[in-house]
Amino acid sequence: MKLLIPGPVTTHPDVRAAMAVDIAPWDNEVRPVFARIRTRLLALGGGVPATHAALPIQGSGHFGMEAALRSLLRPGERILIPMTGAYADRMARLARAAGREPVPLAASPTEPVDPETVRAALADPSIALVGLVQSETSSGIVNDLVAIGAAVRDAGRRLLVDAVSAFGALPLDLGAQPEIAAAVFTPNKCLEGMPGIAVALVRRDAMPAPGTAGSWCFDLADVLEHSEKRGWGTFRFTPPVQTLNALAVALDRLDAEGRVGRLARYTANAATLRAGMQALGLRPILDARHQGPIVSNIAAPTDAGWDLQRFVDALKRRGYLISNFYDTETPSFRVGTIGVLDRSDFEGFAAAVGETLAELGIGRRSAA
């Protein structure tokens, strides 16, 4: 089965094979492997060990975002969040539930965030931090991290980046963007690894004293202190050891392909998908110039017989699994273009969509 979803993604057999082992996390042969993963991730994000650190937290991406919000903001502090879609909503909810105050900034669901709106909003001196979703998975739009970061830096503030659906393919350079206090991601999206852990690449000078988080589990400052005292191959609590072993293999594969090569492959995947859907009379939700390489939303056919779950089930019988929900304002179906997939998979997918629409008797395909 090919997973055409924005994570967890289709993985390479070597990555899956690395899961099939028993591991003790404190084993002296294992610790250097885990420490090296952190060094490699930091380098991939353009961080330097004197200034930055790679801090893992057990759990999924939301756990990493909660840890970053709790650790970078004191209780009651305010975070400006451009409301790009579902993942910005989630960042705001995580902040509020943790007793920090989200300040929503209106943003379009079909266009990237305008850096000037961020610049203007930062005239408010009560805002401590800006939270940006680099690649908004609900819309498929990639925001301009460099331009928005410049607006944040000019205003003397710092930036928290949700890089969960970006890291490993889209550029991130902590060294060139000192305003980035932290960037959070997981192994199971563009890194093409397995789920189970989140990683925050942080600036050391943005870390408060341990305890600020108001939670031991979610305290990145405590993770940093622990790493420095006990070693970078150690964890405070049991980590997902098989996921870490798989991540080491996934990083070897990324080294071989290169981040730029990976981004080019995903970009070709998205272009092939778009052309294939348009050839079937289906309309992508976004303008081509705003479409990112990670995930695409295609407007649902206007045919009265359209039923997303039936469509998903019929595609699954042909070997392709897509999401059975959508996050756009109007009905759509969404297709992820990341993971171990290339353009031939999206040519095959387009053929399968054509067969499926015929099988389901969907004649009217697009209103536009």
Ligand X SMILES: *Cc1c(COP(=O)(O)O)cnc(C)c1O
Q: Which is nearer to ligand X, 187 or 233 (CB)?
A: 187
Q: Does 296 bind ligand X (CB under 6 A)?
A: no
Q: Which is nearer to ligand X, 291 or 356 (CB)?
A: 291
Q: Does 7 bind ligand X (CB under 6 A)?
A: yes
Q: Which is nearer to ligand X, 133 or 298 (CB)?
A: 133
Q: Which is nearer to ligand X, 60 or 108 (CB)?
A: 60
Q: Does 114 bind ligand X (CB under 6 A)?
A: no
Q: Does 62 bind ligand X (CB under 6 A)?
A: yes
SS (H, E, C) the chain: CEECCCCCCCCCHHHHHCCCCCCCCCCCCCHHHHHHHHHHHHHHCCCCCCCEEEEEEECCHHHHHHHHHHHHCCCCCEEEEEECCHHHHHHHHHHHHCCCEEEEEECCCCCCCCHHHHHHHCCCCCEEEEEEECEECCCCEECCHHHHHHHHHHCCCEEEEECCCCECCECCCCCCCCCEEEEEECCCCCCCCCCCEEEEEEEHHHCCCCCCCCCCCCCHHHHHHHHHHHCCCCCCCCCCHHHHHHHHHHHHHHHHHCHHHHHHHHHHHHHHHHHHHHHCCCCECCCHHHCCCCEEEEECCCCCCCCHHHHHHHHHCCCEECCCCCCCCCCEEEEECCCCCCHHHHHHHHHHHHHHHHHHCCCCCCCC
**Number of residues counted as binding ligand X (CB under 6 A):** 12
Contacting ligand X (CB under 6 A), which of 34, 87, 232, 349? 87
Q: Which is nearer to ligand X, 334 or 365 (CB)?
A: 334
**CB-closest chain residue to ligand X:** 61
Q: Does 227 bind ligand X (CB under 6 A)?
A: no
Binding mask 186-215 for ligand X (x = CB under 6 A): x-----------------------------
Q: Does 60 bind ligand X (CB under 6 A)?
A: yes
Q: Does 346 bind ligand X (CB under 6 A)?
A: no
Residue range at the interface with ligand X (CB under 6 A); choices 29-37, 57-65, 94-102, 152-160: 57-65
Residue range at the interface with ligand X (CB under 6 A); choices 56-64, 141-149, 242-250, 284-292: 56-64
Q: Provide the pairing of β-strand 158-162 with 127-133.
A: parallel
Q: Which is nearer to ligand X, 64 or 301 (CB)?
A: 64
Residues 130 to 189: which contact ligand X by CB under 6 A?
A: 133, 137, 162, 164-165, 186
Q: Which is nearer to ligand X, 186 or 356 (CB)?
A: 186
Q: Which is nearer to ligand X, 7 or 112 (CB)?
A: 7
- Report the largest interatomic distance among the alpha carbons of the chain, rounded to a whole angstrom: 65
Q: Which residues bind ligand X (CB under 6 A)?
A: 6-7, 60-62, 87, 133, 137, 162, 164-165, 186
